């Protein structure tokens, strides 16, 4: 790997308005290019909108979805990548044919390549199917990347597979924070009133976004994904109104020791930029630990326990 400059975006998406959302991504791409960024990450389903998807009929989902990479949104992302000579990632609902849909993330690169990742643990709509492949790929920027969408990152095996396949940077687009749950030890809703009054009373909404409903929850597990697997981690997230929930933003970049290189505290659209120092990888703790692995002891990890269930079901039990 060589040193590389990356950017993580937090943004509020307009539900169902792909044109408006693409324009917002384009503004971030222009800013990123001006700051020497080579890789720009925007949130999960940032082009289509996210949480409102669960309310759509199949016919409405069909109207919103696009084929990948043949669709119009992919073409626009490729145009941005070529114009600014950077790699740009964005999420949308993919039409895979025959009323099969995926929560998909697209990475468009300046050399004309497109990489697609279908969320492995999808739950946003009964008609949105889970993907079945890990996504690890070489970039034109001198590093090997892995791509995991939101819930995919909660399953530790997914991140370890990425590391074992040689990934050096984990791209992690999300829509999280402020989620409805009946478990008092998880996130919990952020009041819409606090978001609407954020300019008049910034301290109230900032406390929520940085507390256990947002950053505090992330800090319980996100740094360990980077540290334990010796990966740089680029975390992009929604912020603000997302149907009946408030996303908490907290866009950040972490190094392979789990340390935060850059993060935002803004209660608005924002972008953070960080330089990834490739020399940190060689002796990162996670690399040493992976060399100490004893695969002969782990066979039961691949044996079903009978407790496995579809994420569509599990999500609504939290």
Sequence spans of domains, the chain: 4-315
Residue 62: per-residue pLDDT: 97
Residue 315: per-residue pLDDT: 76
Residues in the chain: 318
CB 241 within 8 A of CB 53: no
Residue 312: per-residue pLDDT: 86
Residue 204: per-residue pLDDT: 97
Query: Which H or E run contains 108?
Result: strand 101-108
CA angle 172, 178, 184 (to 5 degrees): 115
Backbone torsions φ then ψ of 170, nearest 5 degrees: -100, 120
Contacts of 289 (CB under 8 A, 6+ apart): 228
Closest CA to 315 of 53, 68, 19: 53
Residue 261: per-residue pLDDT: 98
Q: Which tokens is 199 given?
A: 């300019």
Domain 4-315 CATH class label: alpha beta
Residue-wise pLDDT tens for the chain (318 aa)?
A: 999 999 999 999 999 999 999 999 999 999 999 999 999 999 999 999 999 999 999 999 999 999 999 999 999 999 999 999 999 999 999 999 999 999 999 999 999 999 999 999 999 999 999 999 999 999 999 999 999 999 999 999 999 999 999 999 999 999 999 999 989 999 999 999 999 999 999 999 999 999 999 999 999 999 999 999 999 999 999 999 999 999 999 999 999 999 999 999 999 999 999 999 999 999 999 999 999 999 999 999 999 999 989 998 887 667
Cα within 13 Å of Cα(100), Cβ side: 8
- Unique residue bearing structure tokens 């289509």: 48
Helix (H, G, I), strand (E, B) or coil at 149: coil
CB 247 within 8 A of CB 208: no
Residue 316: per-residue pLDDT: 67
- Unique residue bearing structure tokens 């999280």: 176
CB 49 within 8 A of CB 15: yes
Residue 123: per-residue pLDDT: 95
DSSP letter for 182, please.
Answer: S
- Unique residue bearing structure tokens 């095996």: 157
The DSSP secondary structure of 171-191, one letter per residue, reads EEE---SS---S-TTS--PPP
Using CA atoms, how far apart are residues 239 and 12, in angstroms rounded to an integer?
5
């Amino acid at each position: 790997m060589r040193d590389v400059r990356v950017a993580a975006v937090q943004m509020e998406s307009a539900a169902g308005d792909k044109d408006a959302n693409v324009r917002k991504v384009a503004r971030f791409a222009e800013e990123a290019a001006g700051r020497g960024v080579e890789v720009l990450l925007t949130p999960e389903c940032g082009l289509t909108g996210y949480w409102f998807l669960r309310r759509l009929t199949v016919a409405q989902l069909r109207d919103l979805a696009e084929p990948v990479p043949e669709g119009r949104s992919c073409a626009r992302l490729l145009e941005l990548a070529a114009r600014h000579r950077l790699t740009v990632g964005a999420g949308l609902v993919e039409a895979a044919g025959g009323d099969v849909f995926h929560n998909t993330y697209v990475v468009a690169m300046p050399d004309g390549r497109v990489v697609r990742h279908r969320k492995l643990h999808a739950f946003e709509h009964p008609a949105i199917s889970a993907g079945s492949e890990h996504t690890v790929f070489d970039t034109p920027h001198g590093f090997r990347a892995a791509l995991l969408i939101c819930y995919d990152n909660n399953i530790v095996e997914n991140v370890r597979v990425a590391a074992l396949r040689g990934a050096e940077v984990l791209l992690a687009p999300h829509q999280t924070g402020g989620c409805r749950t009946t478990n008092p030890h998880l996130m919990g809703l952020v009041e819409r009133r606090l978001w609407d009054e954020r300019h008049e009373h910034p301290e109230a909404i900032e406390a929520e976004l940085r507390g256990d409903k947002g950053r505090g929850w992330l800090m319980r597990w996100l740094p360990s994904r980077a540290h334990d697997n010796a990966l740089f981690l680029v975390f992009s997230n929604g912020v603000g109104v997302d149907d009946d929930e408030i996303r908490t933003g907290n866009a950040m970049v972490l190094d392979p020791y789990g340390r935060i290189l850059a993060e935002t505290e803004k209660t608005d659209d924002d972008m953070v930029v960080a330089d990834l120092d490739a020399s940190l990888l060689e002796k990162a703790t996670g690399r040493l630990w992976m060399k100490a692995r004893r695969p002969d002891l782990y066979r039961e990890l691949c044996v079903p326990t009978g407790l496995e269930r579809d994420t569509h079901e599990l999500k609504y039990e939290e």
